[in-house]
Amino acid sequence: MSEVKRMKYCVGGEWLESKTDKYMAVTDSSTGEVIAEVPCCTAEECEAAIAAADAAFPAWSRMSMAKRVQYLFKWRDILYAHKEELSILCAKELGKTLNEARGDVQKAIEPTEEACAAPMLIEGDGALQVTTGYDTTTYRVPLGVCAGIVPMNFPAMIPWGWMVPLAIVCGNTVVLKANSQTPLTSMRMLELFYEEGGFPKGVVNLVTTDRTKAEIFMTDPRVKAVTFVGTTDVGKHIYSVAAAHGKRVQAQCEAKNHALVLEDCNLEATVNAVINSTYGCAGMRCMALPVVVVQESIADKFVALLKEKAMALKIDCAYKEETKLGPVSSAGHKKKICDWIQKGIDEGAELVLDGRDIKVPGYENGFFVGPTILDHVTPEMTVGNREIFGPVTCIKRVKDYDEGIAVMNANPFANGSCIFTSSGYYSRKFVMDTDGGMVGVNVGIPVPSAYYPFSGNKDSFFGDLHVLGKDGIRFFTRAKTVTTHWFDEEAAKREVRTWEGSTEQ
Residue ranges of the alpha helices (H) in 325-484? 331-347, 401-409, 424-433, 469-475
Angle at 118 between CA 116 and CA 123, to 5 degrees: 160
Name the catalytic one among 40, 41, 286, 418: 286
CB 369 within 8 A of CB 328: yes
Strand 416-420 vs strand 258-261: parallel, antiparallel, or unpaired? parallel
Question: Is 265 an active-site residue?
Answer: no
Residue 37, burial from CB neighbour count under 10 angstroms (0-12, 13-18, 19+) = middle
Closest CA to 369 of 353, 357, 352: 357
User: CA-CA distance, 63 to 459, in Å (whole number)?
Assistant: 38
Residues 17, 23, 28, 29: what is their CA dihedral angle, to the nearest 10 degrees? -140
Q: How far is CA 91 from CA 71, 95, 96, 235, in A?
A: 28, 5, 5, 26
Beta carbons within 8 Å of 77's beta carbon, 6+ residues apart: none
Q: Are 437 and 415 in contact (CB under 8 A)?
A: yes
| Cross-strand pairs, 454 | 467
Put residue 468 in one of left, alpha, beta given phi > 0 → left and psi -120 to 50 → alpha. left
What secondary structure does DSSP assign to 305-346, as a single string? HHHHHHHTS-B--TTSTT-SB---S-HHHHHHHHHHHHHHHH
- Listed residue (239, 271, 143) closest to 461, CA to CA: 239
Give the active site residues: 286
